[in-house]
Amino acid sequence: MSQPVTILWFKRDLRSADHPALASVQGRVIPLYIAEPEVWSAPDAAARHWRFVAESLTELRADLATRGTPLVVRQGEAVAVLEALRQAHPLHRLVSHQETGLMPTWQRDRRVADWARSHGIQWDEPIDSAVFRRLGNRDLWSGRRDAFVRATRAEPPARLSGPIVEPGDIPDARDLGLPFDPCPGRQAGGRQAGLSLLGGFLAERGRSYRADMSSPVAGEVACSRISPHLAWGTLSVREVHQATAALLAELRAEGGQGEWARSMSSFLSRLAWRDHFTQKLEDFPALDSRPMHPAFADLRASAAGQAELTERLERWSTGQTGLPFVDACMRYARATGWLNFRMRAMVQCVASYHLWLDWRDTGPVLARLWTDYAPGIHWSQVQMQSGVTGINQLRIYNPVKQGQDQDPTGIFTRKWVPELRDVPDAALQQPWEIGGVRRYPAPLVDVALAARAARERMAAARRHPGFREDALQVYERLGSRKAPRERVRGIRKTPADARQGEFGF
């Protein structure tokens, strides 16, 4: 009689190191990755995501092969793929990490659970990050999170064995129907690339992280740049936390309380905020489609005609708003797949407030741009920067001032908006003041007037009867038993939200 087989299902955890699901495997195993059409045809998916994943799968396959069993890759609906393997092999167990994703992955997991139950297959889902299902009381989260990141890392088995299974080809983006998506500056996938970035950050680049992370120029180097590796799981949050904490302890033991120690402390905090925002999606799974506060459900529905809104969305998406710093950031993101956090917040803010576009339309555009797209972080931030949570203060960035502050010499703006290369510094962020520039569009809006109108609209929504009571319910949905205090007709920010957690790393 054939020995029973376990399927080890990889999702956003494309590594063997510190992989609790892999560490739990005993006996014969089929390591499996499923390229799911339902996931990759969603409006938040892009070819740049898949190419990063494909590179990571290639490296993971080689790693697992050295342990005895190469990665099997299949393209298709998850239950159909699993059933085909069940019919060919005596499956008795499925193991995969808990996944916190949008509704399509949640619904898929329900179907997989039904399939496993109907065939008497045990499905185990250990946690891979400090995000907890059915938490109940969010006030317990911080302690549980600290315990998780400090725990001993999961060691992979030195050897794996399993039945002979055709490994299958790793699909190309075209095989998944993903549109052409040029991104010449995209970061490379694979664990080795992630380890190299982390090592360079901890050895030297992170020294000025705290001071430089807000600048799109300095931040390109001073930020860790490991966010895509955390998003797709070639690095674990726990190993990054422990490596950073070890460096910080070393710096403090040497009497270091200077810039480097402060930078590492700040980076550790941002790793925690990353889990904090992902926990929000676990607690509120419709984060991409429904505002956390119901008063904002239809706020932007009739602000302008559809043709005007369509033009605004297209010009914002392609970096043609006529607002130089916004356009530079959007063009940079399209070419590289990355942008530092402050600039991500700014481009979302401009879309939601100045252009008064619906965050449900702009969110997928940015999701497709970020190589490090992680749904929990992305949609939490999209809602926060669009003012629809009801529990955060409004932050309406002035894109002109941001350009002057973060790009004072214009090096970033001129590189990505070369139409403005001959404009003097004083007029670079507002070329309309010198009569405009040939080949560069006039601004879509008057920045000051648009911001004022947005504030008035948001204030009117917050004055609606029952606003505070609904905001309290938002807190309840997030699992907190602590009653928040009022703050200017709204709700006082939670400590983690107050810091506007980094999601560009």
Residue numbers belonging to the annotated binding site for FAD: 209, 267
Q: What Rg, from alpha-carbon coordinates, does the chain have?
A: 24
DSSP string, 19-52: -HHHHT--SEEEEEEEE-HHHHTSTT--HHHHHH
Cα–Cα distance measured from residue 106 to residue 54, given in angstroms and rounded to the nearest whole number: 23
Q: Which of 70, 80, 77, 84 is nearest to 168 (CA)?
A: 70
Instruction: Output the CA–CA distances (angstroms, integers) from residue 454 to 146, 321, 389, 392, 447, in the order listed.
Output: 39, 18, 16, 16, 11
Q: Which amino acid is at 299?
A: L
Residue with tokens 């590179």: 55
Instruction: List, as residue ranges, the binding site.
Output: 209, 267
Which neighbouring-strand residues pair with 52? Answer: none
Q: Which of 9, 504, 15 is nearest to 235 (CA)?
A: 15
Cα–Cα distance measured from residue 496 to residue 219, given in angstroms and rounded to the nearest whole number: 22
Contact yes or no for 348/381 (Cβ under 8 A):
yes
Question: Number of C-alpha atoms within 13 angstroms, CB side, residue 73?
Answer: 18
490-491 vs 486-487, strand pairing mode: antiparallel
- Alpha-helix residue ranges (DSSP H) falling in 284-374: 306-318, 324-336, 341-349, 359-369
Helix H or strand E encompassing 73: strand 72-75
As given in the structure block, the two tokens for residue 277 are: 């925002």
Instruction: Output the CA–CA distances (angstroms, integers) from residue 477 to 42, 433, 472, in the order listed.
Output: 26, 48, 9
